[in-house]
Structure formats: structure tokens, C-alpha cells
Amino acid sequence: MTEHKATGIQASDRVARRGFLVGGAALLAAGCTSNEPSTAPGSAAPAPAPAASGNDQPGTKVVIGFSAPAADHGWIAAIAKNAEATAKQYTDVEFKPVEPTNDINQQISAVESLIAAKVGALVILPNDGQQLNQVARQATDAGIPVVNLDRVFPDKLAYRTWIGGDNYGMGVAAGHFIGKQLKDKGVTNPVIVEIQGIATLPLTQDRSKGFADALKTYGFSVTAKQDAKFTVETGNQVAASLLQAHKKIDALWNHDDDQGVGVLAAIKEAGRNEFVMVGGAGSLNAMKEIQSGSSVLQATVTYSPTMASSAIKLARLIAQGKGMSDLVENQVPQSITLASETITKENVEKYLPLGFES
């Protein structure tokens, strides 16, 4: 998202999971009082353990309300699990989640119930930032600070702080990895294929623009691209079609590791291995493919659900009137965009504990 925020997700697109959100940052926002995770990989990225910091000392009790879409794929499931696990790390935090839902009206009602309960802070990953903007504004008007997670509310008065991934940066990271690989191999006029999520989403367009801009610095461009709706089934179908249409491919970027399960299945079924593939988001299964060293998947660019852990930490700090310990300023920033990091065989060990199950 350089336009980093996933905006304009329509109701018809809600089946597309991540709202897309997904694009980078396996590590937490700077100064957010956390370090390396202490648990092994599981069904979701484990919440990082708090570091020894004055900010982590128990303070005024805070009730943090939490609302997110239903966990219809691995990334969203990890969002909810990270939020809950991080809240449990603090004796001064009471975590108050509402039923996850992909229905706009139900999410609005759920957030209204948290406002009525007079929670100390709200963390909201909206199904649609535009359509939930009004209820988020109601919360802030009622004096409840809102931490807007990933899909942004268009009205800045509707939230105290936004935190999310960098969709444009995700494309840039993928483009540089592929561009360098091809340049090092002396490839000219390469066939580069791109498998998007949902082509009409601003976040997808940001990813594609970042990818195109990075490739341009190497003198390359995308040969063909097609969207796969962020589903395993469509990922499989689109990949099979592109493989059939292009008898030789030099590189492939798949925007989303969840749909990448289907993409990889199609590649293996076709017996193709002449190209380098890059994934997107940082799922555990993608990392294991990279780690194997025998897959076309050689890298993935992050859009980590650890952002939910940071959102809980930020909500706690804001509600307690604290700033971020590594920053000079007294207050938490208004906006935090996480970096999209490139995971390869060389550094995958470091990222495995943060992977989520697709």
C-alpha cells in the first residue's frame, strides 16, 4: 500500500479475504516493545513476547475491544490469534473480542456494542473501511481511541492510529528480487507472469504498480497478468491457464501465499521448473517450500499478520497515555506502515516462527 491502505473494498469483494491487506512486515513496528517470538510455528503466527521495557510494566487497566472479519483463510485467522495472544501477555489488559463476521451490518452492530460497553480502546480491522467509517467515527466521538488495522477508514477523524502493511512496497520487493535474479543470469527480454488477487482492489493495483516500477529499473516489464481472486481453487485454474499459454516462463510473482497453494499445485502438475517464483504474505507453507531448496518458489515478500500484535500493543499504549519507548515523541504516531521484507532460503529460519498456516 503506498497508498498503503487497503481502501474501497466493496461488499462483493469481502469473500476475498485479506482485504488485502496482506503485504509485508514480519517484524513489529519499531519501538513497540517487542522482540523475537518465543514459541514455535503453529497454525498462526505466534504473538511476539514483550521485551523488557518500562512500557511493559503493568499500568492502568485497559479494556481493548477487537473486531475483525471471519477467519475464512489463514491470514485472517492469524490476525485474530495474534491479537488475542498479545493481549494475554499483559495483566493490565482485558481483551474483549466480538464475533468475527464478513457481514458489514453485523460488524457495525458488533462495534456499536463495544462502544456501548465503553471499552478503553478499539482495534478494528474492517471488512470495508468505507462502510465502517461512520461507526468508527462514533467511537472516536465517544472518546474511545480507535486503532485502525490495515483496511483504512477514509476519514482520519475516525481513528487515532492506523497500522498496516505496504502493498506498493510488496510489489517493489518482489520486482527487485526477480529483476536481480534475471539480470544475474543474463536473461534479456524475459517472460514475466503476474498472478494478482482481485484486480479491481486498490491494494492489488498498488502491488502491481510497485512490481512494474521495480522491474522497470532493470529494463523489464510484465508479459502477462491475471487475477486469481485470492482463493486456492482460482489460483490453481489461473496458473494452469498461464502455464499453458506460455511454454517458457522466466519469472512468476503470485501476490498471495494462500492462493499460492493452488498456484504451486498447478506448477507441479504441469511439471514446470524453468522459472523463479516469488510469493506474497509470508505463510508457513511458503516458507517451507523456500527452505526445501527444491521448489520454483524461491522467495516470498511479507505482509505479516503480526501487525495485529502491534495493534494491540499500540491500543494499550494509547489508552494508558504512553508513547513508544524507542521514539523521542511522547505520543504514539498517527500512522505506521510496516516494511515488506523478502524471505529467501538464506534468511527463512528467522521468519519461520512468524509464518501462518494457509
- Residue 29, pLDDT above cutoff 80: no
Over the stretch 286-335, which tens digit does the pLDDT of each residue have? 999 999 999 999 999 999 999 999 999 999 999 999 999 999 999 999 99
Q: What does the pLDDT average to over 91-100?
A: 98
Categorize the per-residue pLDDT at 204 as very low, low, confident or very high, splitting at 50, 70 and 90. very high
| b/e burial code for range 52-83 (CB count within 10 A of at least 16 → b) | eeebbeebeebbbbbbbbbbbbbbbbbbbbbb
Categorize the per-residue pLDDT at 54 as very low, low, confident or very high, splitting at 50, 70 and 90. confident
Structural domains in the chain, CATH included, are 11-164+306-338 (3.40.50.2300), 167-302 (3.40.50.2300)
Q: What is the pLDDT of residue 178?
A: 98
Name 300's bridge partners. 279, 343
DSSP states of 172-201 as a string? HHHHHHHHHHHHHTT--S--EEEEES-TTS
* 315 vs 145: CA distance, rounded Å: 8
Categorize the per-residue pLDDT at 214 as very low, low, confident or very high, splitting at 50, 70 and 90. very high
Q: Determine whether 235 is exposed, middle or buried from the number of CB atoms within 10 Å of its CB (0-12, 13-18, 19+).
A: buried
- Residue 253, pLDDT above cutoff 80: yes
Q: What is the pLDDT of residue 126?
A: 94
Over the stretch 155-166, which tens digit does the pLDDT of each residue have? 999 999 999 999
Q: What is the pLDDT of residue 147?
A: 98
Q: Determine whether 301 is exposed, middle or buried from the number of CB atoms within 10 Å of its CB (0-12, 13-18, 19+).
A: buried
Task: Specify the 3-state DSSP secondary structure of 66.
Answer: strand
- Residue 228, pLDDT above cutoff 70: yes
Over the stretch 254-273, which tens digit does the pLDDT of each residue have? 999 999 999 999 999 999 99
Q: What is the pLDDT of residue 26?
A: 34
**Rg of the chain taking only CA atoms, in angstroms:** 20
* 8 vs 201: CA distance, rounded Å: 7
* 111 vs 314: CA distance, rounded Å: 19
Q: What is the pLDDT of residue 37?
A: 33
- Residue 203, pLDDT above cutoff 90: no
Distance (Å) of CA 352 to CA 45, 297, 348: 9, 15, 6
Categorize the per-residue pLDDT at 237 as very low, low, confident or very high, splitting at 50, 70 and 90. very high
Give backbone dihedrals phi and psi of 222, rounded to 5 degrees, phi first.
Answer: -75, 130
- Residue 36, pLDDT above cutoff 60: no
Distance (Å) of CA 70 to CA 115, 159, 277: 20, 22, 30
